[in-house]
Chain A
Amino acid sequence: MKRPLVPLFLLFAFFCSGACARSLVITPLNAGITAAGEERWEEAIQCWKKALEQDPGSAAAHNNLAVAYEKRGAFDEAGREYGQALRLDPGNAIIKGNYDSFKARLEAGRGRRP
């Protein structure tokens, strides 16, 4: 009785891994994340720009670029990238969370009396 279950389980696992398999490939998006994790932010920017060349509709690439521009201090560019990411994926709570934190920090800094 158990014997048919083993191959069925293996088939199920195969399809599941296949569904996520593209994340195991070193894409420009992932390469950028690796670079950012190692504080190589300029390299990360180049990776995510390349990701956008391949897929201009990638909200993830726009989000990640926005974070990198924030790190660089290019706040105008960061705002533009967050806006693009939200236009492409308006229901994405992670992008919205990043953008809300960015906006709050900008307003707190620029609103204070020097």
Chain B
Amino acid sequence: MMAGAACRAAAPVLLRVEMPGVSPFLAGSFAEIIVTDFRNGTTLPYFDAGLELQTYLAAELRRAFDGAVSLRSLPAGPGIPPETWREAAAGRNRAVILTGTVRFGSQVRKAVVDKRVPFDSPFDLAGRALIEQLRWTLLVDVAVISGDNGETLYRQTFREDRDYIDLEKPADFAFSDCSAGFRERLFPVLLGSSTVEERTLLRR
């Protein structure tokens, strides 16, 4: 029994381990993400969607990404050449830049629906009702840029819509909902998805 117990204690240990995602972007994993403010294509005077998105993404990346996350202002001008991006990441070790353009706006959508309207009336109403909803739309044109050579590694446009019965739904509430959906779709692309893997540890 002693022999059995002693020898069993020397056996390898099989574990199921949740491993973090593997980013598809670089041959070596990147160690830093620089998040710029996004170029704002919206005309909402009281809401800077570009700055809000930068703040939100940086906070969420700090939670999800083990490396460094830093903020930087977007260089001025429409087309930004690679050398500008290289300078923005100068002195940083294996950095990528997360940037792009954002548009955020709303519209009221109306529809006539066939449904029984519970009115107490002598008239036999056909039961057609007009419904209105406020749709907020977030459009983000995202680019991931290599800090080493300034080249674009990835570019994609994401769209998130949210419909609200409350026609007065404020922009910041809707932006919070839309950006959460955007995050759910961007992060697996940027950081990879975690998986549960089997690995064996050795005692000797």
Contacts and interface: CB of A to CB of B under 8 A. Distances in A.
Interface in A37-80: 37, 59-60, 63-64, 67, 70-76
Nearest to B66: A73
B2 A94 contact: no
Contacts of A21: 6
Interface stretch (B17-25, B84-92, B158-166, B174-182): B17-25
B13 interface: yes
Top 5 A-B residue pairs of the complex, sorted by shortest distance between their CB atoms: A109-B22, A16-B3, A60-B202, A23-B10, A20-B6
A112 B15 contact: no
B2 A13 contact: yes
A60 B13 CA distance: 11
B199 interface: yes
Contacts of A13: 1-3
A17 B2 CA distance: 6
Contacts of A111: 24
Contacts of A20: 3, 6-7, 9-10
A101 B203 contact: no
Contacts of B28: 76
A30 B203 contact: yes
B202 A23 contact: no
Contact of A36 (B5, B10, B24, B201): B201
A95 B13 contact: no
Nearest to B1: A13
Query: Which one of A33, A73, A97, A113 has the greatest number of beta carbons of chain B within 10 Å?
Result: A73
Contact of A60 (B6, B18, B144, B203): B203
Given A23-B7, A23-B9, A33-B13, 15 more contacts: A17-B2, A20-B7, A23-B6, A29-B202, A33-B203, A36-B15, A60-B202, A60-B204, A63-B201, A70-B19, A98-B199, A101-B198, A105-B197, A106-B22, A114-B24
B127 to A, nearest CB: 50
A73 B191 CA distance: 10
A98 B202 CA distance: 11
19 contacts: A14-B2, A16-B6, A16-B7, A32-B201, A33-B203, A64-B202, A70-B19, A70-B197, A75-B22, A94-B12, A94-B202, A95-B202, A98-B199, A101-B197, A105-B22, A106-B22, A109-B23, A109-B192, A110-B27
Nearest to A34: B13
